[in-house]
Structure 1
Amino acid sequence: MAKDVQLGAVRTWYDDTGDGEPVLLLHGGFVDSRSFEPAVAGLAEHFRVYRMDRRGHGRTPDVAGPISYDLMAEDTIAFLDKVVGGAAHLVGYSDGAVVALLVALRRPDLVRKLVSISGNFRHDGLLPGVLDGFAHEEPMRRLAARYGEVSPDGEEHFRVVAEKLLSMARAEPTLTVEELARITSRTLVIAADDDAMSLEHTIALYRAIPDSELAIIPGTSHLLVVEKPAEVYRVVGTFLNTDATRTWQPIRRA
């Protein structure tokens, strides 16, 4: 059921469906929670699934000033406190994965399990030239049209939001492996084998979080949730639905 809630200065759109432990889906940048539609039905068989459109995305309006990961993390914490009413499993894709990491660090009491899909913890983890693609007219036109389908700010405002997001991505996030080591939630790190961040950066994220697991989806890019959604969400669902099991020949987990 679609609703909205006031989170500070931001009137935030969200929906929820299903029953069970809460799962909050955190979408990527330049898109919105519609990108999670392939995930919702399967997850809702076992969980109460929440989706929220963050500030300046989808059906949630932009507000004056910059967009930052810090602000989006604070919005997410407010959503968990005010709407969910406590801890949830966090599933974040791309920018949403960064937000999930920040929430886990600031409010570990609000995070059950954490799934990071194609997320980076430092801005320099992105491969050279990745952000340059947003300078091309055709992809920006498609993103703007998609934005305009639902945004209360109208399609013409997309360029404003896009510039805010690009400015953010050039300078953030700035987490360290020492900070990541403080994450206590059981975590699944998922990435494509041809992702926007280096494989070494993804492995560094996996190694830094003490209770973490790693999945690389073969034959995919940063758009893995579009290219192979069934495979991605099968891995996510299995992780959320099961407890950690001791492997037969542990090395890292020994």
Structure 2
Amino acid sequence: MTSRTLPLSTKRVAHYLEQGSGEPLVLIHGVGMQAHAWYPQIDELSRDFRVIAVDMPGHGQSDALDSGAGLQQFVAWAIAFIEALNAGPVNLAGHSMGSLIAAGVAVTRPDLVKRVAVLNGVYRRSTEAREAVLQRAAELRGGTIDVETPLKRWFNAEEAQQIAAHKVESWLKSVDLAGYATAYTAFAKGDEVYADGWHSIACPALVLTGSDDPNSTPEMAQQMAAAAQNGRAVVIEDERHMVNLTAPEAVNRALRDWLQTETGVECVEPQPETMKSEV
């Protein structure tokens, strides 16, 4: 795995991890994480693809955006990154906040996206859910970071899940608080920014979540897949928000199926597919 940096402007540099060769697959993580959060996908998919996992602004080694940046600015950043790669249209996958960015790029710059995958994404939150994430964003902006609560929400007590939880805990504790707060605020306010644009997404769109994710629900996944022109919803049973870490075999299998989907092909009305994670 190679660590690289890419200048996006005179002010900002993006850091990313690269492994493998072939068709480019760009991965964007969620808030509080870093490019290494895709390690099960990097290891598996780099056998056949050029996998590029990028640190989101203000995370890992990527420079932060301005403190008032909203989702549109994160999408503009991702567009600049993909253009700077100079690799042509890419397969683009995002997790959580990264999925909002990936969908925003697919809506606004479809020429840059060959296929799009949304993992544990949010879509038109309820009023109650929106208020909860806005409250967490306000706490972060006030300088308070709560690591234990999301860990309890994202992982159960099984040994394999706790191994992943320890990695996530280390990333949350090392993230720059200001960068985290900016991204989380954009995430909290971003669930409807590109929601009306899903109908314009014509490339193959995978929308995946865990059956037990209370914030990125199976219902949201089905709604996004149904809105896209060539969408497919996958729900992995008995999994939560960090499904790419806790059920990597099932997620990698779904991603491989998506990466083999022909582009430019009309699809029938999508039906949600349920998958079991391997133990």
Fold shared, TM-score > 0.5 on shorter chain: yes
TM-superposed deviation, 1:146: 2.4
Partner of residue 3, structure 2: 2
Amino acid at match of 1:146: W
SS at 1:220's partner residue?
coil
Alpha-carbon distance between aligned partners in 2 of 1:79 and 1:241, rounded to the nearest angstrom: 24
Partner of residue 152, structure 1: none
Alpha-carbon distance between aligned partners in 2 of 1:126 and 1:34, rounded to the nearest angstrom: 32
Alpha-carbon distance between aligned partners in 2 of 1:16 and 1:102, rounded to the nearest angstrom: 23
- Aligned with 2:178 (options 136, 152, 160): 160
Between the two proteins, what is the percent identity of the paired residues?
21
Q: 1:114 to 1:35 in 2, by over 3 A?
A: same
Query: Are positions 1:146 and 2:147 aligned together?
Result: no
TM-superposed deviation, 1:73: 1.2
SS at 2:232's partner residue?
strand
Alpha-carbon distance between aligned partners in 2 of 1:63 and 1:239, rounded to the nearest angstrom: 31
Alpha-carbon distance between aligned partners in 1 of 2:102 and 2:63, rounded to the nearest angstrom: 21
**For 1:237-248, what aligned pairs fall within 5 Å after superposition?**
237-243=256-262
The answer to whether the Cα contact below 8 Å between 2:68 and 2:182 also exists between their aligned partners in 1 is yes
Partner of residue 225, structure 2: 206
Alpha-carbon distance between aligned partners in 2 of 1:122 and 1:129, rounded to the nearest angstrom: 13
SS at 1:137's partner residue?
coil
Q: 1:162 to 1:76 in 2, by over 3 A?
A: closer
Amino acid at match of 2:3: A
* Aligned residues between the structures: 242
TM-score by length of 1: 0.83
Q: After superposition, what is the alpha-carbon deviation per residue over 1:126-149, rounded to whole angstroms, capped at 9, x for unaligned?
A: 846753678673438987852565
**For 1:6-21, what aligned pairs fall within 5 Å after superposition?**
6-8=7-9, 9-21=11-23
Q: After superposition, what is the alpha-carbon deviation per residue over 1:50-89, rounded to whole angstroms, capped at 9, x for unaligned?
A: 1111210111132442232211211111111111431100
The answer to whether the Cα contact below 8 Å between 1:192 and 1:219 also exists between their aligned partners in 2 is yes
Question: Which segment is superposed worse, 133-142 or 230-239?
Answer: 133-142
Partner of residue 146, structure 2: 137
Partner of residue 24, structure 1: 26
SS at 2:63's partner residue?
coil
The answer to whether the Cα contact below 8 Å between 1:123 and 1:172 also exists between their aligned partners in 2 is no
The answer to whether the Cα contact below 8 Å between 1:125 and 1:201 also exists between their aligned partners in 2 is no
Please give the root-mean-square deviation of Cα atoms over the aligned residues, in Å.
Answer: 2.8
Alpha-carbon distance between aligned partners in 2 of 1:144 and 1:190, rounded to the nearest angstrom: 23
The answer to whether the Cα contact below 8 Å between 1:26 and 1:52 also exists between their aligned partners in 2 is yes
Q: 1:96 to 1:193 in 2, by over 3 A?
A: same
Alpha-carbon distance between aligned partners in 2 of 1:94 and 1:125, rounded to the nearest angstrom: 19
Partner of residue 252, structure 2: 233
Partner of residue 243, structure 2: 224
Amino acid at match of 1:206: A
Q: 1:182 to 1:147 in 2, by over 3 A?
A: same
TM-superposed deviation, 1:160: 2.1
TM-score by length of 2: 0.76
TM-superposed deviation, 1:252: 1.9
